[in-house]
Structure formats: C-alpha cells, structure tokens
Amino acid sequence: MPKQLAILGSTGSIGTQTLDVVRSNPDRFAVYAICAHRNVDLLVEQAREFKPEVVCIADETQYDALKAKLSALHFQGKIWAGTDAIADMVTFPSIDIVVASMVGYAGLRPTIAAIEAGKTIALANKETLVVAGELICEQAQKHHAPILPVDSEHSAIFQSLVGEHTNEIEKILLTASGGPFRTYSLDQMAHVTAADALKHPNWDMGAKITIDSASMMNKGFEVIEAKWLFGVPAEKIEVLIHPQSIVHSAVQFTDGAVKAQLGAPDMHLPIQYALAYPERILSDFPRVDLLAIKDLTFEKPDLERFPNLRLAYEATAKGGNMPCVLNAANEIVNLAFREGRCGFLQMSEIIAQAMSKATFIAKPTYDDYVATDTAARRITEELLIH
C-alpha cells in the first residue's frame, strides 16, 4: 500500500516539490491531507488532482472561499480551517508520514501533535528544532516518532551517517551558498533592497527563507537544527561557504575521513530520500555532471558582514529559550525588511537587541516557548518603531 502523506504547507516550495515526488511515484505515495496558509486557488487545484481526504487552510478568513470552490468540484473530503484543525489533522490514524514544511514558528504546534501521534516526520521546517529542539527530541524519543531531515544540508549529513552508527563524528561541515551578497562590502549591503535579496544565485525558495539565506540566518538556524538532529555540539559544526551548492554538506570522522553528499541544487532528491527511507528509488530528477563542474571552492564565512551566523551560535550556546527569541525576532525583522520598514544590516542589530532584552528561561516548557515567542515579537516590533 502507498504511504499516506499529510503535507503541511503544500502550496509552498517544499510542498509543491513533495507533490512532484508523489506524482512520479503513485504506487509508493498517496496524499491523505494537505494544508496551506492562504493560497486557496493552488490548494483547490492540488485537491482536484490528488483527491485527499482532508483539505485545510490555516487562515480562517479563507474558509468560505475554499469551501465554495471545492464544493463546485464536488469534493467529498473534509474541509477544515485554523491552527487547531491543522494540529488535529496530522493525528489521523491513516497518515504514515507528516511532511512538516510550513514556514516559521507556525510549524511548531502541528509538528508536536504529529510526534505525539507517533507519526514519521519529514522535517523541512527548521524553526521547529530552532525554537524547541530539546522538547522536540524528548517527545520524538518518547513517542517513537522518527524525524527524517528534508533540508538539503541535513539530508546530506544524514546520508553521510548511514552505516556509521557507532563511529564518532569529529565535526560536521555545513555548507552554505553565501547567497546573493557573498562578495558585497558592508557599504554595499547597507543599500540593498528586498528585491536584491530575493535573487538567490542557486536555489528557488520562498521569500522568507530566501531573505534568511541572504542574511545567513538560515545557516545559523541549520547549525542549531544539526545540533539536535545529530547530537553534535555546535562547536563541532563548521560552516563553509560553497558557492557552487554541489556539496550539500559533509561529515568528518575521528580517523580523518570525510564523507559528503553531492547533488544538483534541487530539493526533489532530499524530499524523496526522506519519504522512501531507507530505500533509494528511481527518479528522473536533475543529476550532477561532474565533468561539467569547473571548480568546487570553499570559504570561511565573514561574521562581520554576516553577524546573524554569530548570533545563532551565541543563542545555541546560551540554550534555554534564547533560540526561540532569535527565531521570533528574525521573523519580525525579515518581514519588516521585505516590507521596506527595516534595512538589511539593521536586521542583525535589532535581533541582537531583542536577545539582550528578552527574559531568559533555562529550562522552558512548551508554554514558556509560546510566551517567549509572543514577548520577543513584541520587543522586536517596539525596537523597529524606535
């Protein structure tokens, strides 16, 4: 029987590529449930094609439009709306894998609900582990819910670790493209716009993640995520700028050997690997032509020009609820930059101030994370105004 999927964020970049994988492997995967934030038209088109049992829209103001359009198609499944509905949807007994690809903090609650229901999690929402990594790992172990990474970098690390269960990791080599401003001076970066930042040289991603890539906050989040996924302290995770985006990441072992996973800058392979694990199945997705690659280069990140990476290391070193503060402040300034209310370099300055002003909790509960997120967003908005 095909594995039944619930796809959270089905209209986003990861969600649509997950549906490509399903489309290519109808004998292996089927879509049981889909949800989106507010893209009704694409969600309806997906429902028409894949005929899921449940269609959910996070933005409740879009429910009537969604229901009307699905009714016109004589859709027979359930039509739900709201954050409570998403958390309920992922617990359905028929669901085998939950693809957690909602963007930002919004992905935390449904991911926890899926873990508590014992589902396999194909995790693309890195903020879940950034915000509440300790809690997520405890719950995953308690409920025997496997977490399989979908991010290309973490998938590469995961693939490099297959068969290495008892072998000690010396360090993880986490690669980054460097984004569109890799060679810019601080003076040049002071004048860039959101339109400039959204022109990523290698990857096709959503707006929020593309801005995070440009500021290297995305890589900072990936350091924190790798710490929790692979049980490696942050000081053993080294970020390398790799402009070609061919080596997706690597692991160095204590004997000096380095294992890396190479691939085209395309998300279909890591998505398919997570869904089919432990199998590798046939695909027609892009291949790497090693003969066509002229250079594979690596550089050390510049923390003066990209302080977000330093802030991420500081947040994970402090622990507790500080990564939650980091994430909340970043979500606010990221949106403010896209809306023209904040400069590119100003984002890091405001995040640092928010981290210094937030109340620190060393051993947060889930309720503490919720309160921290709310408070950090308020602090950051106030800093933007002043």
Predicted confidence (pLDDT) per residue in 45-86, tens digit: 999 999 999 999 999 999 999 999 999 999 999 999 999 999
pLDDT at 381: 97
Could you tell me which of 39, 8, 10, 25 has the C-alpha nearest to residue 272?
A: 25
306 exposure class (CB count in 10 Å sphere: 0-12, 13-18, 19+) = buried
Q: DSSP strand E in 242-319: where?
A: 247-253, 258-262
Distance of alpha carbon 216 from alpha carbon 199, whole angstroms: 14
The radius of gyration of the chain from alpha carbons, rounded to an integer in Å, stands at 20
Q: Is residue 286's pLDDT more than 80? A: yes
pLDDT confidence of 201, banded at 50, 70, 90?
confident
Going along the chain from its start, the domains and CATH numbers come out as: 3-149 (3.40.50.720)
pLDDT confidence of 157, banded at 50, 70, 90?
very high
Residue 344's contacts (CB-CB under 8 Å, 6 or more residues apart) are 181, 189, 190, 192, 197, 214, 215, 337
Query: Residue with structure tokens 């029987």?
Result: 1
pLDDT at 56: 97
Query: Residue with structure tokens 């928010």?
Result: 354
Pairing of strands 237-241, 169-176: parallel
pTM of the model: 0.93
Task: Determine the average pLDDT of the residues in 37-52.
Answer: 96
pLDDT at 260: 98
At 238-262, the pLDDT tens digits run: 999 999 999 999 999 999 999 999 9
Residue 49 to residues 42, 45, 375, Cα–Cα distance (Å)? 11, 6, 42
